[in-house]
Amino acid sequence: MLANESMLDAVMVTLEALNGTHAAAMLRWMQDPVVAKNLGLRSNPSAEKTTTWLERAATDESIEARAILLDGHDVGNVVLDQIDRHVAKARLSIYVGEQAARARGVGKAAVRLALALAFDELGLHKVWLTVHERNATAIAAYKAAGFVTEGTHRDEFVIDGERIAEIYMGRLKTDPA
């Protein structure tokens, strides 16, 4: 099995570089209220914004953006951004946009692949993320991938007008998975 592949109950999860061919699916997922709410989107998504972001991600050295493929079909995205090569760290963001691919371990597999990218290919020392405290499914997946809670940012996330805490989690290259 290659470094960008993970078997999951007889289905293959892989990552591939995001590009313009992924724009339509990305836009559709950003318009999904579940995805938008969990990501904390602050503005309405549009085709223009999606294309602009993809173009920037393709040329910005502080971003490594990948499509999550399940049996070759685009089902979500995983992004390492805010890459700081001096400190050797990056922020992880992930979502499984296709509803039928959720709750099947796709996100867990994609996180493991993203960590391999971060630690093995990019030579990073730390990957960090934030997640709102009500996203128990994501928190469990992050813990299963070796992330530990490093802190809580009070009232840093807003869902439906309500302020809730954001959990800051990190994973070091030397941490057990």
Instruction: Give the start-to-end residue ranges of the domains of the chain.
Output: 5-172
Phi–psi pair at 127, nearest 5 degrees: -125, 135
- Which is nearest to 9 in space by CA: 101, 94, 76? 101
Structural contact between residues 53 and 59, judged by C-beta atoms closer than 8 angstroms: no
Strand partners, 109: none
Residue 152 in this model has a pLDDT that exceeds 50 = yes
Whole-number pLDDT of residue 6: 53
3-class state of residue 87 by DSSP = coil
Distances (CA, A) of 136 to 15, 139, 143, 149: 24, 5, 10, 13
Does residue 4 carry a pLDDT above 60?
Answer: no
Q: Is the full-model pTM beyond 0.85?
A: yes
Model pLDDT, residue 40: 75
User: Which H or E run includes 113?
Assistant: helix 106-116
Confidence of residue 58 (pLDDT cuts 50, 70, 90): very high
pLDDT at 168: 97
Helix (H) or strand (E) holding 93: strand 89-96
Average pLDDT, the chain: 89
Instruction: Indicate the fold that domain 5-172 takes in CATH.
Output: Aminopeptidase (3.40.630)
At 36, the pLDDT band (50, 70, 90 cuts) reads confident
- Average pLDDT, integer, range 69-94: 95
